[in-house]
Structure formats: C-alpha cells, structure tokens
C-alpha cells in the first residue's frame, strides 16, 4: 500500500512540474524590470508577468509594453511607438506619426516634473534608424523615461521574432500589484 501511495505522489509531482515548465516556456513568464528606462510607469525591480501567447496570434499594438531580446543577450522592456509602415518623428516634445500629432497621455504628468525639457528630444526615424518608415515585421520602441533609455533611437527597430511578449501585470512588490498601460 505504501509503495502505491508513493508512486501516486511521484506521478502527481511530475505532472505538476511538467505543467509548470510548459506554462512558463510557452504561455507566461516572469520578468524583473532592470533599470530606470521605464520609470515612473515601471520601477526598478518591479516583477511582471509576460504574456507570450498574445503575439503568436496577433501583432503588437501601438503603446503596448513589450519585452524583447536585445543586444548583449539581454531582454529589454519598452513601449511600442511605431508600427510597420509608420513614419515618425519628435519635434518640440510632440510625437508625430504619419505626419499627425499623437498624444501620449501616459507621459503628461512626468513631463511636468522633468528636470530638463524637452522630455523627448527632437529626432526623425531616418536619423536614428536609417529607415524612412518602420519596416514590415518590425516595431519602433521607446522607454517612458525618455531621457534615460536605451531604445530604438540607439539599437534600431525591433523584429517581431525578437519580441517575447506583452508585459502589463506587475505582481511584485505585493503592495504595488497593478495593470499598466
């Protein structure tokens, strides 16, 4: 009887481990925010859940917060600004996409408290990436802390196949559990 009960426990633990590995590898994964590039939307050491399956059936949307594989074997977390086919530029702290001004409401209160202005320096897509439009199968990303972010202005456009997933749930610290947009 004891041998049968032990065998049942071994099977149950094995199934649980296999399920945990499959869920983490294919569906969701934790990530730790490292640095200040997304502050104050995300703080250094925030723990988030990355949804890996959303982009296997769809593509990133403008202003999604995504995790992607970046140079130096590191994963970055940034906000999608430009989509394939977009032209974009910043002028006088205003984002223009396809020639039209676009509001970034998630930045408004941070611009007011910025130590120096403009919050986002002037640039054109061509100047920072060499492209006139965001290429097919790529996105242009920026950190919310525009003055302290290594993003597409420095590393170029991000191919879809380097995108790990969408990150919008902070689960730690426990007192700061929230959905971010």
User: DSSP letters along the chain, please?
Assistant: -HHHHHHHHHHHHHHHHHHHHHIIIIIEEEEE--SSTTTTTS-TT-EEEEESSHHHHS-PPTT-EEEEEETTTEEEEEEEEE-TT--EEEETTEEEETTEEE--GGGHHHHHT-SSS-SS--EEHHHHHS-SSPPTTEEEEE-SSGGG--SHHHH--EEGGGEEEEEEEEEESGGG-EE--
Is residue 152 annotated as a catalytic residue, yes or no?
A: no
Which one from 4, 59, 74, 78 is the annotated catalytic residue?
Answer: 78
Is residue 37 annotated as a catalytic residue, yes or no?
A: yes
Task: Check if the beta carbon of residue 31 is closer than 8 Å to that of residue 47.
Answer: yes
Catalytic residues: 37, 78
């Amino acid at each position: 009887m004891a041998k049968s009960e032990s065998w049942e426990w071994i099977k149950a633990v094995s199934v649980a481990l296999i399920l945990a590995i499959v869920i983490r590898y294919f569906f969701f994964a934790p990530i730790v925010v490292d640095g200040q590039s997304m502050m104050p939307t995300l703080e250094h050491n925030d723990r988030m859940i990355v949804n890996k399956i959303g982009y296997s059936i769809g593509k990133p949307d403008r202003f999604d917060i995504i995790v992607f594989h970046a140079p130096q074997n590191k994963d970055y977390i940034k906000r999608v600004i430009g989509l394939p086919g977009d032209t974009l530029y910043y002028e006088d702290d205003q984002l223009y996409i396809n020639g039209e001004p676009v509001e970034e409401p998630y930045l408004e209160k941070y611009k007011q408290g910025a130590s120096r202005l403009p919050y986002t320096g002037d640039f054109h897509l061509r100047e920072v990436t060499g492209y006139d439009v965001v290429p097919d199968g790529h996105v242009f990303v920026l950190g919310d802390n525009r003055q302290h972010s290594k993003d597409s202005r420095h590393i170029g456009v991000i191919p879809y196949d380097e995108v790990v997933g969408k990150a919008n749930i902070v689960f730690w610290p426990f007192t700061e559990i929230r959905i971010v947009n």
